[in-house]
Amino acid sequence: MPLKILVTVKRVEDPESKIKVKPDGTGIVTDGVNYKMNPFDEIGVEEALRLKEKHGGEVVVASIGGDKSITEIRSALAMGADRGVLLKHEGALDPLLVSALFQKLTEQEKPDLVLLGKQSIDDDQNQTGQILAERLAWAQATFASKKESLESEAEQKKQPGLVLSADGKKMQVVREVDGGVETLEVSLPAVVTVDLRLNKPRFASLPGIMKAKKKEVKEIATASLGVELQPKVVVKKLFEPPKRAGGAKVADVPELWKKLHEEAKVV
């Protein structure tokens, strides 16, 4: 049963770069900051490629952003995805809008499965996948993971962690929950968001990078999708958390109690 899979990829700041808040709090200093594909999305691309290797089908990657986001699409194409779509957009967005835009794209592309990272490491919101499933009225499974470790043989053999049923109509998803994992079954089409322990993504190879140049990337202006592009969640100000004051030694338990009670006001 070939699968058509749509995977979202976001361009984010590379946490290896030193990230600093601008003095006026309107954003971060972008100079000298490197960008990369959101690591959770990379896991999504890897999973899609494994599913395609096993079942056949097509992997389409999509990003929302400016021209530079094409680099992240190419990065996914270099890993092996088939084609890309850039929803071209400058300016602020929130998960409500992102999911609305991906809803439109999903309706156009009609994939069997949409894979998203469970969150992006810049804003860490963890909402887009859930809202998208709701908008589409599709089944959803979040935080996809697998039982085998990343050192296991299954991982060495690049087995997908998501398991397609024999009739191709359902997908089994192992998901991380507090204190363990649970296994869900979703009927397709579905939205799945992926977590860290699902797989170890491959590196784009140089031959893959050269092949990716020849793959199609379609650009769609977000304004043409009929979505009202006004974010409801607005970032007003960024600031660094206050520096932690140093600890102090206390002489005995009564003093500790007093400090907790009167200064920290936690007991």
Contacts to another protein by CB under 8 A: 16-17, 29-32, 34, 36, 70-71, 74-75, 78, 202-210, 212-213
Work out how close the CB of 117 gets to another protein at its nearest, in angstroms, rounded to a whole number: 17
Choice between 59 and 139, CB closer to another protein: 59
Choice between 72 and 112, CB closer to another protein: 72
Note whether 92 and 234 are within 8 A (CB).
yes
Work out how close the CB of 67 gets to another protein at its nearest, in angstroms, rounded to a whole number: 11
Note whether 155 and 198 are within 8 A (CB).
no
Note whether 161 and 199 are within 8 A (CB).
yes
Work out how close the CB of 140 gets to another protein at its nearest, in angstroms, rounded to a whole number: 30
Choice between 18 and 236, CB closer to another protein: 18
Sequence-ordered list of residues with C-beta below 8 angstroms from that of 208, at least 6 positions apart, any chain: 78, 79, 80
Work out how close the CB of 8 gets to another protein at its nearest, in angstroms, rounded to a whole number: 19
Question: What DSSP character marks residue 14?
Answer: -
Choice between 30 and 125, CB closer to another protein: 30
Note whether 96 and 43 are within 8 A (CB).
no
Query: Rounded to an integer, what distance in angstroms lies between the CA atom of residue 57 and that of residue 246?
Result: 57
Choice between 30 and 165, CB closer to another protein: 30
Work out how close the CB of 10 gets to another protein at its nearest, in angstroms, rounded to a whole number: 15
Element (H, E) at 135: helix 128-136
